[in-house]
Structure 1
Amino acid sequence: MTQRRIRKILIANRGEIACRVAATARKLAIRTVAVHSDVDAGAQFVAACDEAVSLGGAAPRDSYLRWDKIIAAAKATGADAVHPGYGFLSENADFARACTDAGLIFIGPPAEAIEAMGLKAESKRLMEAAGVPLVPGYHGADQDSALLAAEAERIGYPLMIKASAGGGGKGMRIVEQPGGFADNLASCQREAINSFGSAAVLIERYVQRPRHIEIQVFGDSLGNYVYLFERDCSVQRRHQKVLEEAPAPGLSEARRQEMGEAAIAAARAVGYVGAGTVEFIAEPRPDGDLAFYFMEMNTRLQVEHPVTEAITGLDLVEWQIRIAAGEPLPLAQHELSMRGHAIEARICAENPDNDFLPATGHLDVFRLPGHAAFTPASDGVRIDSGVREGDEISPFYDPMIAKLIVHGATREEALARLDAALAQTHIVGVATNVAFLRHVTTSRSFATADLDTALIQREHGALFHTEGLPFVLTAAAVVANILQAERALADADPWSRRNGWRIGGPVTRRIVLEHGDTRETVAFTAVDDRQVRLNVASSAHDLTLAGPGDITVDGRRLHACTYRTGEVFSVFTADGSAAVRLIDPLAHAGDSEAEAGRLTAPMPGKVVAFLVDAGDTVAKGQPLAVMEAMKMEHTIKAPVDGTVAELLYAIGDQLGEGAELLRLEPLPEAG
């Protein structure tokens, strides 16, 4: 490939990767064009680019998956290259080929390499021929269900079913016993069709206590290859990554080199050019080292690439652009080295305590630690994000809203920096996993690098349904916020002073705060502008107001950032966070049990399957229906024992959040 100057790049993806590509392109004096859906017209990534073109629509199939519109936008704006980002069309061989046919530079591997690695079964056959270790399994083209069941018996349980064309944790099921094979196969195939357009699957032995270790590789058009070391991505939920770090804890230098060379062999086998990631499953060996097996190759840049950038000091997007322009690799293998340790946390709009159900909503507050955009700051903290305060998190796209990356001289330093940065991440208006990430970071398993893909299940008791902040501290912060807001109003209008002072002494005020399913009455008496007597659950406490957000509770001083949105107060401290609702008795006088017996959609989505019929008797926790939202399937379960009275929608119907899905009549309590 001859060198070709790139002057303008069209970015065929949304979110933080589009912001990142725009920043790197600017550094190289290259202009950028954003393409966007109607939903994203005012998004941050659109503003980050020099130009923008609307693709229309909202759902990906009407916008970001319309590669005909994307190529037309590139031609109309004079772009000479297309960066696919990750997700959507980044691993679509037809799109890569169409870009090339249109005279555009596709900033990624050749279409043939994408095709070779895009089908998991075919890629495993290629890797076997290249001498790359494989997990025992079935990778054949025959997809007869009886044959697949027979192969499962041959491989043995537990096993994993994977969508052959899959990625991103979608279309994957772990099956523990033969009795669960048929249902899991059907569910996996259904999700595979919805996500990738193909129901083909492969079956593999499920490795016990596996670690997920991947190698970053680069190849140029001159036949040169390097590996930029490894990332450990073992901490996962629903087969999707939560935390990633580099280098992998406990990996010997000999094994690192062996895995790196195997990754290069994999890339060389398909004539790979550009950035790619070869993913391995690793398991402990009796000698204490790791055995490793090829899992798949992602023929694109990975979401977690910033941790590799942090330990190598390199800009991988710049490498992508230079290699796509025909330049040789910037460095040879012997010139590459690592420094320190880096960890990335994926901040997502989701509810971990509700099976990681994706969330939608308005970013009323989106405050992040001090950082320099897209480059490590002096304090070793970096945030990549494609949203800003005031944006809407819609149901149409992936729920990830930001990536928090930290770097330290050691893993211990990086861990401490990550926890501190998460504590300074304040998001209000949409449920997020920030508190959950803090719990994972400080868990025994993660802190001691006892890693495998079951870490979250193993640490379940310490990670889910935990108290974010003691209620006394939350109540104190809320009272302080109310009084400081009243003081600010009184300073502007003395007649509006509401501190309770009166002839004969101060008055005691009472408010009701709801946290979870509990309502607590909080009584407080403002003695003066600084001192408050607080009574929570019949327990007396001393509260002192210092500056904005600074309070002292029973002699302990802490900084509490409190945000009020309507009736909800969200409190953030270094110890944790909490949200409570201020209950107005008049506003809630009409509350009743009218909602009993209704099962509603937890978020906008499509009905994929009903697992019961009208008239069926069901038990609490029994699966009733399956919805698809944010590219994932979600199972709706019975909240109580009951009888299904009516199904209110049909398979394939699109629902809005809160739409009544079915009616369930609770069984009468035994008396």
Structure 2
Amino acid sequence: MFRKILIANRGEIAVRIIRACREMGIATVAVYSEADREALHTQLADEAVCIGPAAATDSYLNMEQILSACIATKADAIHPGFGFLSENSRFVEMCEKCNITFIGPTAEMMDKMGNKSQARLTMIEAGVPVVPGTKEPVYDAKRGAAMAEDIGYPVMIKASFGGGGKGMRIAFGPDDFEENFQVAQLESVRGFGDNTMYIEKYVQEPRHIEFQIMADKFGNVVQFGERDCSIQRNHQKMIEESPSVALTPELRRRMGDAAVRAAKAVHYESAGTIEFLLDKDKNFYFMEMNTRIQVEHPVTEMVSGVDLMKEMIRVAAGEPLSVKQEDIHLQGHAMECRINAEDPAHHFRPCPGVIEAIHLPGGNGVRIDTAAYNGYEIPPFYDSMIAKVIVHGRTRQEAIDKMRSTLGELIIDGVTTNVDFQYEILDNEDFQAGEITTDFIPMHFNL
């Protein structure tokens, strides 16, 4: 097992990793930007190293500085969390050259699944259903328009190396294809340094269903059930839950088997998520694979009883999975709300500032992952998420009721948050009935 782990991240995910390491008896090193000098993760870790100015490009994305901090503190592994360098294969290669274990998949696996065009071809070969689309990269709008005609409108234009909703646009016909292609490609270049695009059929009124998997170095792959992540705004998830009311036991088994097949097709290791679109006729299609732990992993932990973070660390250390597929039995219903420092009344404008007072609820079946505290100043340089509220109940309705009660007790003064907007979603009749798709928010809210 590792002696010391450096966490190449910040915020609540850095705190989450530190806590898992503490329970495992592993020392931790926090890295921080100048803006995060007083952040909670720097105070909880055994050691803390400043790696640069506030801008992420000069700190949390600065590979050389992070590796230098790792070598200087004699840490033998790096956990990237999610975001930042978590899916950067070049960083993984640099870790390998420095004889530092990257807690995640290899660079080769990451490249196979990170390139969405290549991932589609891999899934087709593995017999995993995919959305009809291009089989080769697209770089030019006119050529893309011709391909879109063959596929049939509407189509989704996607960056091959995209993620987080960036580099994605919907074209409903030839008249708006070129503009949407150019905007998506520009976002891809700015966000990911790559202009490779692909085009697929736009599945209308789908659900976003993803399966959590974990794989070890011995070829064992286990799936921990699904999460329904259909409540989104601009492709950014807001509420996640497990299990999904849309899946029958038979459909759950088939989708879970496909998720395991997808992971085995690339000889995957570590935590990962296989994401599917589920149409109104219950047909499912592979969308992409996230080669990292995800924001919403606590939802799966609540229903499965498995600590995914610890399992991820054990696998990276060369240990076999501690559970088998027959050990996984989902219990009850879990739900997560992302609490962001943003103003829904003004186009969800980020609202950095000082938290003047904060009260975090507790109780049976309530978990809150956060790095916020009284007096903490939310910097304007990073993601606006400040907390994740996760609840667990015997039924979906019990989980909804518990989430409403928990949000009612949550106090965050000094900054504007999206808590009231989350209430509106939870109170919506269609949401309570489980009638949700990825179009839920634009259909029900005039934003």
| Matched residue, 1:299 | 291
Specify the alignment match of 2:185 in structure 1: 189
Letter matched to residue 359 of structure 1 = C
Higher strand share: 1
Query: Is 1:276 the counterpart of 2:272 in the alignment?
Result: yes
Which residue number in structure 2 is paired with residue 440 of structure 1? 425
C-alpha separation in 2, matches of 1:447 and 1:354: 26
Which residue number corresponds to residue 438 of structure 2?
Answer: 453
SS in structure 1 of the partner of residue 61 of structure 2: coil
Alignment equivalent of 1:99, drawn from 92, 95, 119? 95
Aligned match for 2:306, one of 314, 331, 348: 314
Pick aligned residue for 1:236 from 232, 238, 242: 232
Q: How does 1:28-427 map to 2 (within 5 A)?
A: 28-285=24-281, 290-369=282-361, 371=362, 378-427=363-412
> How do 1:484-633 residues align onto structure 2 when only pairs under 5 Å count?
none
Q: TM-score, normalised by structure 1?
A: 0.66
CA distance in 1 between counterparts of 2:373 and 2:165 reads 27
Q: Percent same amino acid at aligned positions?
A: 49
What whole-Å deviation, never above 9, does each CA across 1:507-534 have from its counterpart, x for those lacking one? xxxxxxxxxxxxxxxxxxxxxxxxxxxx
What secondary structure does 2:52 align onto? coil
Amino acid at match of 1:232: D
For the 8 Å contact 1:45–1:387, the answer to whether it is kept is no
* 1:146, distance to aligned residue in structure 2 (A): 1.0
AA aligned to 1:49 is A
Q: Secondary structure at the match of 1:161?
A: strand
Q: What is the CA–CA distance in structure 2 between the aligned matches of 1:321 and 1:175, rounded to whole Å?
A: 42
Q: Does the residue aligned with 2:143 lie in a helix, a strand or coil?
A: helix
SS of structure 2 residue aligned to 1:203: strand
Greater RCO (Cα-Cα under 8 Å, separation 6 or more) = 2
Report how far residue 425 of structure 1 moved: 1.6
Counterpart Cα distance in 2 of 1:57 and 1:255: 49
**Displacement of 1:394:** 2.1
Which residue in 1 is equivalent to 2:416? Answer: 431
Q: RMSD in angstroms over aligned alpha carbons?
A: 1.2
**SS of the residue aligned with 2:34?**
coil
How far did residue 210 of structure 1 move? 0.4
TM-score between the two structures when normalised by the length of structure 2? 0.98
The 1:392/1:234 distance shift into structure 2, 3 A limit, reads: same
Shift of 1:139: 4.2
User: Is the deviation greater in 450-459 or in 147-156?
Assistant: 147-156
| Alpha-carbon shift at residue 274 of structure 1 (Å) | 0.7
- Superimposed CA distance per residue, residues 68-91 of structure 1 (whole angstroms, 9 cap, x where no aligned partner): 111111111010111010000000
Match of 2:6 among 6, 10, 18: 10
C-alpha separation between the residues in 1 aligned to 2:357 and 2:200? 44
Residues in 1 aligned to 2:407 and 2:287: alpha-carbon distance in whole angstroms: 31
Could you report, residue by residue, the CA deviation over 1:609-652 in whole angstroms, capped at 9, with x for unpaired residues? xxxxxxxxxxxxxxxxxxxxxxxxxxxxxxxxxxxxxxxxxxxx
Question: Aligned partners of 2:118, 2:61: CA distance in 1, in Å?
Answer: 24
More helix by share: 2
What's the secondary structure of 2:339's corresponding residue? strand
Q: CA deviation at 1:360?
A: 2.0
Name structure 2 gaps, 5 residues minimum: none
Give the distance between the partners of 1:394 and 1:236, measured in 2 at CA: 24
- Output the amino acid matched with 2:289: M
Shift of 1:387: 2.1
Corresponding letter in the other structure for 2:33 = S
Aligned partners of 2:4 and 2:26 also within 8 Å: yes
- Code of the aligned partner of 2:416: A
Query: What is the CA–CA distance in structure 1 between the aligned matches of 2:21 and 2:125, rounded to whole Å?
Result: 39
1:115 and 1:225 map into 2 onto residues whose CA distance is 19
Answer whether contact 1:445 1:459 (CA < 8 A) is retained. Answer: no
SS in structure 2 of the partner of residue 39 of structure 1: helix
**Equivalent residues of 2:138, 2:197 under 8 A apart:** no
Q: How far is the alpha carbon of 1:155 from its aligned partner? A: 1.9
3-state SS, counterpart of residue 339 of structure 1? coil
| 1:389 CA displacement | 2.3
Q: Secondary structure at the match of 2:163?
A: coil
SS at match of 2:318: coil
The aligned amino acid for 1:305 is H
**SS of equivalent to 1:164:** strand
Greater C-alpha Rg: 1
The alpha-carbon deviation at position 122 of structure 1 amounts to 0.8
Q: Which amino acid aligns with 1:213?
A: I
Structure 1, residues 362-417: CA drift from partner, whole Å, max 9, x if none?
Answer: 22232221x3xxxxxx4211100122222222221111111000000111100000
Closer/same/farther in 2, CA of residues 443 and 241 from structure 1, 3 Å limit:
same
Distance in 2, Cα, partners of 1:56 & 1:77: 17
Distance 2:111 2:399 in 1: 38
Structure 2: distance between partners of 1:94 and 1:86: 16
Match of 1:482 in 2: none
Give 4+ residue runs of structure 1 displaced > 3 Å after superposition.
none
Give the whole-Å Cα distance in 2 for the aligned partners of 1:255 and 1:76: 50
8 Å CA contact retained: 1:35, 1:70: yes
